[in-house]
Amino acid sequence: MKMALRGAAAETRWTGRDSALNAMIELARRWARWRAPRLARAFQVDVHDMASLGQLQDWEDRVLGVTGHWVRAEPTCAVKHETACPFAEIAKGEPRICTELVHALETETFRALNPTYRLVPLERLLSKGDAACEFHHEIAPSPGPSEGDADPPGRGAVHAGDAA
């Protein structure tokens, strides 16, 4: 992955073109939509609770070697500070790796599970010299269940049969 990111950064720097980065962004979007329901099932996240959805970013961070901590974890808003990232040095040469590629991956993953999801644009970044990358996630408040509706469809944890 680092090699592909270095190649995308080099293409932009040397040729002024960004076809490699654009292709990686599109691939990230497609992968995000594919992985979202699978991860939600595996972690049994509540797709109407941003703190619960945050488990997916925790998993991704462990896989990629990113470290950080949650500074806010509420049903409609969660904020994570990532304090170390193995890709930050590469992203210094091409900040759109963070602001567009990572943003697209996170947005598509969470939006596939909850269409009201929004990731605030990434401005605090390790690659810009900040002490942490700040991921500010938001979703709309979940409507309460209708009277007499004990478990309305689409609410609560995603279960094995809910999404493909």
Q: What is the C-alpha to C-alpha distance for residues 132 and 13, in angstroms, rounded to an integer? A: 25
**Is pLDDT at 123 greater than 80 in this prediction?**
yes
Name the residue with higher pLDDT: 87 or 114. 114
Does 159 map to a domain?
no
Q: What are the residues facing 137 on neighbouring strands?
A: 78, 119
Does 68 map to a domain?
yes
CATH at residue 40: 3.30.1380.20
**Is pLDDT at 129 greater than 80 in this prediction?**
yes
Digit-coded pLDDT (tens) for 5-50: 444 444 554 455 567 788 889 989 999 999 999 999 999 999 999 9
Q: What is the C-alpha to C-alpha distance for residues 11 and 32, in angstroms, rounded to an integer? A: 24
Rounded to two decimals, what is the model's pTM?
A: 0.78
Does 150 map to a domain?
no
Does 25 map to a domain?
yes
| Residue 148 tokens, joined | 């007499």
Helices marked H in 16-124 — which ranges?
19-43, 50-64, 88-93, 96, 103-113
Mean pLDDT of 133-161: 65
Show the domain range for 56.
Answer: 2-138
Mean pLDDT of 113-131: 95
pLDDT score, position 16: 59
Does 154 map to a domain?
no
Percent of the chain with pLDDT over 90: 61
Does 157 map to a domain?
no
Question: How many separate domains does the chain show?
Answer: 1
Q: What is the C-alpha to C-alpha distance for residues 86 and 67, in angstroms, rounded to an integer? A: 10
Does 145 map to a domain?
no
Does 161 map to a domain?
no
**Is pLDDT at 60 greater than 80 in this prediction?**
yes
Helices marked H in 65-129 — which ranges?
88-93, 96, 103-113
CB atoms within 10 A of CB 38: 12
